[in-house]
Amino acid sequence: MTREELEHIIRASGDITDQYEFVIVGSQSILGAVPRPEDVFTVSMEADIYPLQAPELADRIDGAIGEGSQFHETYGYYAQGVGPETACLPADWMQRVHRIQNRNTQDRGLATVWTFSTSSSPRLWSHERRIGSSALHCCSTAM
């Protein structure tokens, strides 16, 4: 998934839920900090997302633009509506977010994307490259 595709998911999620702010977790969260990462980081066609202020609306996202939806069939990527319990984030995660807000998100789809910088944890970054985003979820509480 590219940054532009993630922005499309943010825009569509805003239209579906009438929410303004979203959290993206998992492997696609790298696109918040690194708009053009190495190809190995863009293999997934799924973005894990939920509305920050109304996580219960994630099911609407999943139903409308989730796996197997018309959206997925049309564009080749999709959103998976998740919840705050999906990722084990550190207590200060809101201070580490990267925000995406631009014309591609219709300026209303402000996405709160959690990532960490390579300098803050090169060991985990390397681990992420070898085994996937689950390393971030399992190890993030140690950060």
Instruction: Write the pLDDT tens digit of every residue in 59-112.
Output: 999 999 999 999 999 999 999 999 999 888 788 888 878 888 888 888 765 666
Region of poorest pLDDT, from 35-44, 48-57, 130-139? 130-139
CA–CA distances in Å: residue 87 to residues 16, 18, 114: 23, 24, 10
Q: Are 111 and 32 in contact (CB under 8 A)?
A: yes
pLDDT over threshold 50, residue 143: no
pLDDT above 60 for 138? no
Cβ–Cβ under 8 Å, residues 96 and 85: no
Question: Is the pTM value of this prediction over 0.85?
Answer: no
**In this structure, how many other beta carbons lie within 10 angstroms of the beta carbon of residue 86?**
18
Separation in Å, CA 54 to CA 93, 112, 142: 18, 13, 27
